[in-house]
Chains A and B, each alone.
Chain A
Amino acid sequence: MPLWLDLAVRVVAVVLGFLVLPLVVGQTEHKVMAHMQSRLGPMYAGAFHGWAQLIADGVKFVQKEDITPRAADGTVFRLAPLVALFPYLLVFLALPLGPGGLVAQAMDIGLFFVLAVLGVGVVAVLMSAWASANKYSLLGGLRGAAQLLGYELPLVLAAASVAMAAGTLSLPGIVEAWRPWWLLWQLPAAIVFFIAGVAEIRRPPFDMPIADSELVFGYMTEYTGLRFAFFLLAEYVGIVVISALTTILFLGGWHGPFAEHLGWLWTLAKTFAVAFVIIWMRVTFPRLREDQLQRLCWLVLVPVALGQLVLTAVVKVLT
């Protein structure tokens, strides 16, 4: 395959995944939440069980007026949704789907790249919160920044534990090194990573920055139309990214029967299983209070993650 064709195929695949997977997760959320609450959920759009509901939503968002509040800082306000979305697109480049280099861009330090780029998202939260010229937005943004900064620590520590166990920072390399008994060995790290990841994408029960019963809609209050849709898309891409990372780091990625040929299917299946749990958590748990949120992070997750690091080091040295 010539270089340009190879490059084009990779880019198209990443963009396709970036656009399709979040929609699938979003539709799943609609239906799963509805059935957990004894409702039917969307039933009309696209005729069969409302499969085209999110496409209809997208068409609606495009038609809406794009409003920038008069008191807002226009440039920063309009830029923020793109800054929220772009890091996730970059992260998609580094996620391995299957064995034999089935990844858009194999990177020696893929794990570090992913964590660094994900950390940029908090800038978008602060930008949108401040530029909206709205006190609810600002409150939401400050909550968001405090939450993202705090939960980044257990997230990175838990990821560091796996990197230590595998002896590499490359994401395909970590999956390669993964063994089934790591499920037990790395269990605390997996739980910490998953919880901190859900908090990083501000999903319920960690949606204090949005908190619709107190802050209208947090830092997204003033957004309309396509820019609001970008924020929503960023949230669902976030679910895909966190589920995929949990799968790759802790659930063995493509490992499973017939991994040689069906590896990509295993990765996707595990990713969607984790995404289902994230949706399930949203329906199950009430929102945490701000002090509970910070306490969970600093007094539970960080010590557990540090303990896991010690455990990983001890096992690594002994074996």
Chain B
Amino acid sequence: MTVADALLVALGVVAVGSGALVVTSKHLVRAGLYLVISLGAIAGLYLVLGAELVAWVQVLVYVGAVVVLLLFAVMLTRAPIGASDDLDRPAWPALLVGGGVGLGLAALLADAFRWAIYPLPEAGTAGRMGEQIFGTWVLPFEVISILLLSALVGAIVLSRPDIKGRGE
């Protein structure tokens, strides 16, 4: 087992463990903080795999913005210190769906690759990512950006009561 393997396993354990804590913790804000650890560990996994840019995008977008927005919203509405006992949490269906998907994916991957060893592709540098996104994948990239833009416009329209439809 190489250093990279050990790091992968360790970071994977951290990611899965803190992910489990996110859904089992009864402390609302702490659950959000566990999510920070989990997403940070996933960024670490990307780093070990040589995808430097993706790793730091993960940190910038998920740790620095998405989770922060989530925590922000929780703190604005309800964020008691200590355990909340009245959380509505359907444990068994969640375990069934989550565990089922996890096991299914694991079985699928194990079946598809069967311990075959593939050489790592060249490192995911910014230059290579740029060439891929704006070369090969430029059409999906643009479609997704239009989707996000229309979602943004929709959110603005929905959240502003002073914008009325034509029929009203």
Contacts and interface: CB of A to CB of B under 8 A. Distances in A.
Interface of A: 71-73, 76, 107-109, 112-113, 115-117, 119-120, 122-123, 126-127, 129-131, 133, 138, 141-142, 145-146, 148-149, 152, 169
Interface of B: 27, 29-30, 33, 36, 52-53, 56-57, 59-60, 63-65, 67-69, 71-72, 75-76, 79, 81-82, 125-126
Contact of A126 (B56, B68, B81): B68
A73 B30 contact: yes
Contacts of B71: 123, 126, 130, 145
Q: Which 7 A-B pairs have the closest CB atoms?
A: A119-B64, A116-B60, A116-B56, A116-B59, A73-B81, A145-B72, A126-B71
Nearest to A163: B126
Nearest to A148: B68
B117 to A, nearest CB: 27
13 contacts: A73-B81, A109-B53, A109-B56, A116-B56, A116-B57, A119-B59, A119-B60, A122-B64, A122-B68, A123-B33, A126-B75, A129-B75, A149-B65
B34 to A, nearest CB: 11
Contacts of B33: 76, 123, 127
Contact of B72 (A113, A116, A120, A146): A146
Nearest to B53: A109
B67 to A, nearest CB: 7
In this complex, the member of B36, B60, B69 whose beta carbon has the largest number of chain A beta carbons within 10 angstroms is B60
Contact of B56 (A76, A113, A145): A113
A142 B29 CA distance: 14
A76 B125 CA distance: 35
Given A130-B29, A130-B79, A131-B81, A123 B68 contact: yes
A142 B59 contact: no
Given A71-B81, A109-B125, 10 more contacts: A112-B57, A112-B126, A116-B57, A120-B63, A126-B71, A126-B75, A130-B75, A142-B72, A142-B75, A146-B72
A108 B130 CA distance: 14
B45 to A, nearest CB: 16
B126 A116 contact: no
Given A112-B126, A149-B69, A119 B79 contact: no
A130 B68 CA distance: 13
A300 B79 CA distance: 34
A126 B65 CA distance: 12
Nearest to A153: B65
B68 A112 contact: no
A142 B73 CA distance: 9
B33 to A, nearest CB: 7
A116 B47 CA distance: 14
Nearest to A73: B81
A112 B69 CA distance: 21
A126 B5 CA distance: 34
A115 B60 CA distance: 7
Contacts of A148: 68
Contact of A109 (B52, B67, B72): B52
A149 B79 contact: no
A144 to B, nearest CB: 10
Contacts of A145: 68, 71-72
A14 B63 CA distance: 25
A148 B63 CA distance: 13
A148 B64 CA distance: 10
A203 B63 CA distance: 23
Contacts of A71: 81
